[in-house]
């Protein structure tokens, strides 16, 4: 049984790599579709079209056994997803800040500044 496992170790490694590449492709395609649903109204049509095309390509390539092609298509889609974030940020740069950056005096009438005394 051990000889069997050793003999098929390379096949198992290749199979695992293929499965991981397919899972990554599926996750990236899902993330792209979700980003378009959430921010679609803030994304230019050419970026939407580019992402739709790349999502379809990733889904098609993920059905094959070519790990390199799956990884390449997934990386390309990932780079396109970043364009969504850049586009949204360009339209609303103030949204990039966090609540921790806000001034406590601007918090509203229900917030009371206080001091700690020991």
- Contact call for residues 57 and 32 (beta carbons, < 8 A): no
- Taking Cα atoms as reference points, which of 91, 101, 54 lies closest to residue 73? 54
Dihedral angle computed from the Cα positions of residues 25, 31, 33 and 36, in that order, rounded to the nearest 10 degrees? -140
pLDDT (tens digit, 9 = 90+) per residue, 83-109? 888 888 887 766 554 444 455 555 566
pLDDT (tens digit, 9 = 90+) per residue, 50-81? 999 999 999 999 999 899 999 999 999 999 88
pLDDT (tens digit, 9 = 90+) per residue, 2-24? 777 777 788 888 899 999 999 99
How much is the pTM?
0.68
Number of residues in the chain: 118
């Amino acid at each position: 049984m051990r000889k069997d496992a050793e003999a098929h170790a390379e096949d198992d490694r290749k199979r695992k790599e293929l499965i991981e590449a397919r899972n990554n492709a599926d996750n990236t395609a899902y993330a792209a579709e979700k980003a378009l649903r959430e921010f679609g109204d803030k994304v230019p049509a050419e970026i939407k079209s580019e992402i739709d095309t790349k999502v379809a390509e990733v889904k098609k390539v993920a059905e094959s056994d070519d790990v390199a092609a799956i990884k390449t298509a997934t990386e390309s889609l990932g780079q396109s997803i970043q364009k969504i974030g850049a586009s949204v940020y360009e339209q609303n740069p103030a949204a990039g800040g966090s609540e921790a950056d806000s001034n406590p005096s601007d918090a509203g009438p229900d917030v009371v500044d206080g001091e700690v005394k020991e």
